[in-house]
Structure 1
Amino acid sequence: MKNLLLLTTLFFIPFFLAEAQVTPETEVLEEFASPGVRGEGKPRGVVVSYERLPGFGIESESDNPRVGDGSGRIDRHNKFSVRAFAPLLNKPQDKVVIGFNYELEEFNFGGLTPASYDLYRYLEDKNLRSIGLQVLYLHSLNERNFYFIRVKGELNGDYTRDNINVSDYLKGTMDLAYGWKKSPDYVIGVGLQWGYTFGRQRVYPGVLYNRTFNPKWGVESIFPANLRVRYNLNEKTLFYAGYRLEGASYNLYVDEPPLSEFEDLELRRTDIKGLLRVEREIYDFLWFAVEGGFRQYYRHRLYDDVGSRDELIENDLAGAGYVGVELYLVPPRRFTQK
Structure 2
Amino acid sequence: MKIHKPLLLLLAVVFFFPDVWAQAPETEAIDIFASPGVRGMGKPRGVVISYERLPNFSIESESDDPRLGNGEGQIRRHNKFSVIALAPLINKPQTKLIMGFNYDLEEFNFKGLTESSYSLYRYLEDKNLKSIGLQLAYLHSLNERNFYLIRVKGELNGDYTRDNINIADYLKATVDLAYGWKKTEDYAIGVGLQWGYTFGRQRVFPGLLYNKTFNPKWGVESIFPANFRLRYNANEKTLFYTGYRLEGASYDIFADETELQRYNEIELRRTDIKGLLRMEREIYDFLWFAVEGGYRRYYRHRIFDEVGSRDELITNDIGGAGYVSVELYLVPPRKWMNNSN
For residues 262 and 234 of structure 1, do their structure 2 counterparts lie closer, same or farther at Cα, with a shift above 3 Å needed?
same
Within 5 A, what are the aligned runs for 1:111-260?
111-260=112-261
Aligned counterparts of 2:325 and 2:315: Cα–Cα separation in 1? 27
How many residues in Structure 1 have an aligned counterpart in Structure 2?
Answer: 337
How far residue 27 of structure 1 moved from its aligned partner, in angstroms, is: 3.9
Q: Tell me if structure 2 keeps the 8 A contact 1:3–1:196.
A: no
Aligned counterparts of 1:185 and 1:287: Cα–Cα separation in 2? 24
Aligned counterparts of 2:171 and 2:217: Cα–Cα separation in 1? 43
What corresponds to 2:294 in structure 1? 293
Taking only the aligned residue pairs, the percentage that are identical comes to 73
How far residue 2 of structure 1 moved from its aligned partner, in angstroms, is: 2.6
How far residue 320 of structure 1 moved from its aligned partner, in angstroms, is: 0.2
| Aligned-partner residue type, residue 226 of structure 1 | N
Aligned counterparts of 1:236 and 1:6: Cα–Cα separation in 2? 24
How far residue 257 of structure 1 moved from its aligned partner, in angstroms, is: 4.5
TM-score after normalising by structure 2: 0.96
For residues 286 and 234 of structure 1, do their structure 2 counterparts lie closer, same or farther at Cα, with a shift above 3 Å needed?
same
Q: Which runs of 5+ in 2 are unaligned?
A: none
Aligned counterparts of 1:65 and 1:22: Cα–Cα separation in 2? 56
| Aligned-partner residue type, residue 311 of structure 1 | E
| Aligned-partner residue type, residue 295 of structure 2 | F
- Does 2:70 align with 1:69? yes
How far residue 140 of structure 1 moved from its aligned partner, in angstroms, is: 0.3
Q: Tell me if structure 1 keeps the 8 A contact 2:16–2:37.
A: no
Aligned counterparts of 2:15 and 2:107: Cα–Cα separation in 1? 26
Aligned counterparts of 1:186 and 1:154: Cα–Cα separation in 2? 33
Most deviating of 127-136 and 27-36: 27-36
Aligned counterparts of 1:323 and 1:309: Cα–Cα separation in 2? 33
Aligned counterparts of 1:41 and 1:294: Cα–Cα separation in 2? 23
Q: Tell me if structure 1 keeps the 8 A contact 2:16–2:36.
A: no
Q: Tell me if structure 2 keeps the 8 A contact 1:5–1:197.
A: no
| Aligned-partner residue type, residue 269 of structure 1 | R
| Aligned-partner residue type, residue 331 of structure 1 | P
What corresponds to 1:95 in structure 2? 96
TM-score after normalising by structure 1: 0.97
Look up the SS of the partner of 1:17 in the other structure. helix
Listed one character per residue, the Cα deviations across residues 83-111 of structure 1 (whole Å, up to 9, x for unaligned) are 00000001121100000000100000000
Q: Tell me if structure 1 keeps the 8 A contact 2:14–2:137.
A: no
Listed one character per residue, the Cα deviations across residues 225-278 of structure 1 (whole Å, up to 9, x for unaligned) are 000000000000000000000000000001134211112200000000000000
What corresponds to 1:322 in structure 2? 323
- Does 2:22 align with 1:2? no
Listed one character per residue, the Cα deviations across residues 204-223 of structure 1 (whole Å, up to 9, x for unaligned) are 00000000000000000000
How far residue 22 of structure 1 moved from its aligned partner, in angstroms, is: 5.5
Q: Tell me if structure 1 keeps the 8 A contact 2:107–2:128.
A: yes
Q: Tell me if structure 1 keeps the 8 A contact 2:123–2:258.
A: no
For residues 4 and 286 of structure 1, do their structure 2 counterparts lie closer, same or farther at Cα, with a shift above 3 Å needed?
closer
| Aligned-partner residue type, residue 292 of structure 1 | G
Q: What is the root-mean-square deviation in Å for CA atoms of aligned residues? A: 1.6
| Aligned-partner residue type, residue 7 of structure 1 | L
What corresponds to 1:55 in structure 2? 56
Q: Which runs of 5+ in 1 are unaligned?
A: none
How far residue 5 of structure 1 moved from its aligned partner, in angstroms, is: 4.2
How far residue 20 of structure 1 moved from its aligned partner, in angstroms, is: 5.7
Aligned counterparts of 1:288 and 1:120: Cα–Cα separation in 2? 34
Aligned counterparts of 2:14 and 2:290: Cα–Cα separation in 1? 18
Aligned counterparts of 1:22 and 1:233: Cα–Cα separation in 2? 20
Aligned counterparts of 2:294 and 2:134: Cα–Cα separation in 1? 29
Aligned counterparts of 1:77 and 1:162: Cα–Cα separation in 2? 25
For residues 131 and 70 of structure 1, do their structure 2 counterparts lie closer, same or farther at Cα, with a shift above 3 Å needed?
same
Q: Structure 1 runs of 4+ off > 6 angstroms?
A: none
- Does 2:283 align with 1:278? no
Look up the SS of the partner of 2:68 in the other structure. coil
Q: Tell me if structure 2 keeps the 8 A contact 1:132–1:154.
A: yes
- Does 2:329 align with 1:304? no
How far residue 14 of structure 1 moved from its aligned partner, in angstroms, is: 5.8
For residues 334 and 21 of structure 1, do their structure 2 counterparts lie closer, same or farther at Cα, with a shift above 3 Å needed?
same
Aligned counterparts of 1:158 and 1:257: Cα–Cα separation in 2? 15
Listed one character per residue, the Cα deviations across residues 275-333 of structure 1 (whole Å, up to 9, x for unaligned) are 00000000000000000000000000000000000000000000000000000000100
Aligned counterparts of 2:52 and 2:261: Cα–Cα separation in 1? 31
Aligned counterparts of 2:68 and 2:23: Cα–Cα separation in 1? 55
For residues 34 and 156 of structure 1, do their structure 2 counterparts lie closer, same or farther at Cα, with a shift above 3 Å needed?
same
Q: Tell me if structure 1 keeps the 8 A contact 2:23–2:44.
A: no
